[in-house]
Amino acid sequence: MDDFEKVAKESGRASVDVLVSEWMGYFLFTEDVMSEMLKARDALLKADGVMIPHEATLYVQPVQDEKWWSDNALFMQEPEANKYGLDFSPLWDNLKDGQGTKHPWPIRVGHFGHLPGQRLLARRRVACHVSLKYAQWDKDWSCGDDEQRGIKFKDVKKTWHGWLFSFDLKMLPPGDDPEAAKKYLFSTAPGAKEKNAYTHWGQILWPRPFDTVVPKEADFEKGEEVPKADLEASFMVAREPKQFAHNFYMTYQYGSEDEVELEVQGLTADDLGIEDASIQQRLHENMISMNQRRSAAKKAKKTDGEKAEL
């Protein structure tokens, strides 16, 4: 029997005023600790009790990342895209009908803000939202909506390579002072790097299918505008019957192109805990660059202070 169930049984009633839990996983849900946290809430929290965090929101936005696309999607398709000078196209032909090319796996990126070279092509939109005070957990649990393409972006450049996911946590309920509650926000968003220089979770990149033809910036003449189109998507995450796993679904349509379906069954935190070597290199380069900027800023501040004293 879990400790919280033992406490509830011995007390005979919900007796907790505040319940604090660090339950988040990569892609927000993949640690599958939220289910245990909600069980503890139901067993222990008073009706007027407070959940910390209070709300969780998963966001998504289109992203351009030519380096990642070249290192991964184009690696086997174009000999000039890999540094070994070898033709891997026979491997690509063999994989065309496989999970890896039709439905590429989401990967964890961007612990220090977004990766160098990435371009965020639109502001974030809500993919799904959970009220931790009132959410119910059962075998049919899901978050998001896969029936309607309610996630919409205007005028997205044709050079986009995939979806970047991040999440925010509202730590406190609005209460009597909503403005004060807004101050207590945790975010893994790329633009939040100045407040949260490092996060364990980073963001999640879910690429477009690898056989998608995506133009490069260099394909356009200087001064020539990159074509744009509207982008609509739906997203849903659902509970997988086996423990510690979730199923993720995404459908999108870019302009007049055919609708595309992405799906990953049984995704776990272990699946997202692995990062490819190119991502690691870029993360370390970004970390070094960030430390250099901080050192330069401290040095400049010290110099300004010395000048003021003179």
- Dump pLDDT digits (tens) for 217-271: 889 988 899 999 999 999 999 988 776 789 999 999 999 999 999 998 888 888 8
The arithmetic mean of pLDDT across residues 145-173, rounded, is 93
Q: Please tell me the distance from the alpha carbon of residue 164 to that of residue 206, in angstroms, as a whole number.
A: 6
Q: Exposure of 34 by Cβ count < 10 A (0-12 exposed, 13-18 middle, 19+ buried)?
A: buried
Residue 39: closest CA among 58, 19, 17, 56 = 19
Give Cα separations from 305 to 99, 292, 298, 308, 310 (angstroms): 59, 20, 11, 5, 9
Predicted TM-score (pTM) of the model is: 0.83
Whichever domain contains 116, its CATH number is 2.70.160.11
Confidence of residue 190 (pLDDT cuts 50, 70, 90): confident
Give the pairing of strands 107-109 and 203-207.
Answer: antiparallel
Angle between helices 34-44 and 3-11 (to 10 degrees): 10
Cβ–Cβ under 8 Å, residues 70 and 81: yes
Residue 125 in tokens: 């939109």
The arithmetic mean of pLDDT across residues 27-49, rounded, is 87
Q: Please tell me the distance from the alpha carbon of residue 243 to that of residue 140, in angstroms, as a whole number.
A: 14
Q: Please tell me the distance from the alpha carbon of residue 81 to that of residue 92, in angstroms, as a whole number.
A: 13
Three-state secondary-structure class, residue 107: strand
pLDDT computed for residue 78 by the predictor = 73
pLDDT computed for residue 306 by the predictor = 66
Confidence of residue 141 (pLDDT cuts 50, 70, 90): confident
The arithmetic mean of pLDDT across residues 2-29, rounded, is 76
Longest dimension (CA), the chain: 73
Domain of 149, in residue numbers: 3-309
Cβ–Cβ under 8 Å, residues 59 and 169: no
Residue 171: closest CA among 20, 43, 16, 17 = 20
* pLDDT higher than threshold 60 for residue 101: no
Confidence of residue 4 (pLDDT cuts 50, 70, 90): low
Confidence of residue 158 (pLDDT cuts 50, 70, 90): very high
pLDDT computed for residue 281 by the predictor = 63
* pLDDT higher than threshold 80 for residue 84: no
Tell me the pLDDT tens digit for each residue of 42-80.
888 988 899 999 999 999 999 999 988 888 777 777 767
Confidence of residue 33 (pLDDT cuts 50, 70, 90): confident
Cβ–Cβ under 8 Å, residues 3 and 36: no
The arithmetic mean of pLDDT across residues 80-102, rounded, is 63
Which position has the higher pLDDT, 183 or 133?
133
Q: How far is CA 256 from the centre of its chain?
A: 27
Total of domains in the chain: 1
